[in-house]
Amino acid sequence: MTVLGAALIFNYMVEYQAPSLDAVFHALGDDTRRRMLRDLADGERTVGQLAQPYAISLAAASKHIKALEQAGLIRREVRGRTHLCRLDPGPLATAHQWLGFYERFWTERLDVLDRLLRKEDQRQTTTPKTGDDR
């Protein structure tokens, strides 16, 4: 597949998934939510357990959890009066794929720059210096 073909497919995928990517990056844009996700990677937690390390109210924790839920990053299950949250990493894979495209883009550009700089260094070391070049 050509680079152009891959870019066209990627652009289609991004446009198709833009609302979900927007929600994922919004959710990841807050440090407390990122730390909550990290906590959930160790296993399910109640809303109270998620709120406890951050000295925030249950209402504030609930707002953070709602943003994570809207992004599809967590699932909440109600068991009686207890709300249990668990990580759903699927949307993170989509965000990783999106970021991966730009990682390849910049890696290719930086590889080209590296080759150009090495050629320039090689040219400068093989060019004899005269007294006038000092």
126 domain-assigned? no
pTM (2 d.p.): 0.66
Token pair recorded at residue 52: 């406890």
7-20 pLDDT per residue, tens: 545 555 555 556 68
| CATH number reported for the structural domain that contains residue 97 in this entry | 1.10.10.10
Count up the domains in the chain and report the number.
Answer: 1
Tokens 């925030």 sit at which residue?
56
Task: Tell me if 52 is assigned to some domain.
Answer: yes
Assess if residue 90 is contained within a domain.
yes
* Cα-based distances in Å from 62 to 20, 85, 124, 134: 20, 11, 62, 68
Confidence of residue 130 (pLDDT cuts 50, 70, 90): low
Q: Would residue 124 count as lying in a domain?
A: no
* Domain that includes residue 75, residue range: 3-105
Asked if the structure places residue 120 within a domain, the reply is no
* Cβ(44)–Cβ(82) below 8 Å: no
What is the tens place of the pLDDT at every residue in 35-85? 999 999 999 999 999 999 998 898 999 999 999 999 999 999 999 999 999
| CA dist list (Å): 65 to 9, 49, 96 | 33, 12, 21
